[in-house]
Homo-oligomer: A and B are copies of this chain.
Amino acid sequence: MQWQLDVETAVAEAGPGEWHGHLTSSWNIGENPNGGYVAALLLRAMTAEVAHPDPVAMTTHYLRPGIPDADVVVRTEVVRTGRTTSTVRGTLSQGGSDRITGLATFADLGAASGTDHLTIAAPGLPPPDECRPRETLEQGVELPIVERLEIRVDPDAAEPGEAGVAEITGWIRFADGRPADVAGVALFADAFPPSLFGLLGRVGWVPTLEMTVHVRRRPAPGWVQARFVTTSLESGLLVEDGALWDESGHLVAQARQLAMLLTD
């Protein structure tokens, strides 16, 4: 089976540390590809450089929006290869300009160990069927991405501006049935509407400046559940924290991003 994500983030090695690919418009939010999708293509090339399979810490700085339906060049450099971890940097360019640049450390998380010494409890959401599809939320932009990702948000927090808190919770999975994996959860961490919507209502595009995802465990099959909270908003910059769990309630990733609140 050729899953949509795998086809649409395919990269071919064009030389040492150089990878070619193509960003489609199928993962757009409005006019531009979702940042998580652009990062997924970058991560694909970076993962191919190392033996350790799991991106335990991946930071991406967003320099310029990605261009939909356009070719991509990724340049990668292995910074260090160790026994337990490997570190790689990579930069994705289109049209001669760098779009995103990242730094990731990979390890081998193995099969789920079952020993959560310390963890974050899953949010206790209503089942996906009782949650609200993302596309029914008024967002003011076209959302081609909902053909790729099924996103259901908690109905209690679904009306922009009515939740009273800068929090969004919900479920996510690939629309074509692709199982969640570590690349999937990294993508899911940047696919929900901004949690600020719950407090301020629709606020337009909230561009991500930097995002760090820590994959904590390989997910079990099924839906992934997630909670995102804006913890601070100051001088027009906000920090949003995310946590993601697999369907069985195990923590699979933690994420944090710095984003800009654009004001008219």
Residues of chain A whose beta carbon lies under 8 Å from any beta carbon of chain B: 56-57, 59, 61, 63-64, 79-80, 84-85, 87, 89, 91, 98, 101-103, 105, 107, 109-110, 113, 115-120, 166, 199, 209-210, 212, 214, 216-217, 230-235, 237-239, 241, 251, 254, 256, 258, 260
Contact = CB atoms under 8 A, between A and B. Distances in A.
21 contacts: A56-B258, A59-B59, A59-B212, A61-B79, A61-B87, A79-B91, A84-B260, A105-B210, A105-B258, A107-B237, A116-B234, A118-B199, A118-B234, A118-B238, A119-B232, A210-B212, A214-B239, A216-B234, A231-B254, A232-B254, A241-B241
Q: Which of A64, A116, A214, A233 has the most CB of B within 10 A?
A: A214
Nearest to A118: B233
Contacts of A235: 109-110, 113, 115, 216-217
B113 A61 contact: no
Contacts of A234: 113, 115-119, 216-217, 251
Contacts of A239: 214, 216, 254
Contacts of A212: 59, 210, 212, 256
Contacts of A91: 79
Contacts of A105: 61, 209-210, 258
A118 B230 contact: yes
A112 to B, nearest CB: 9
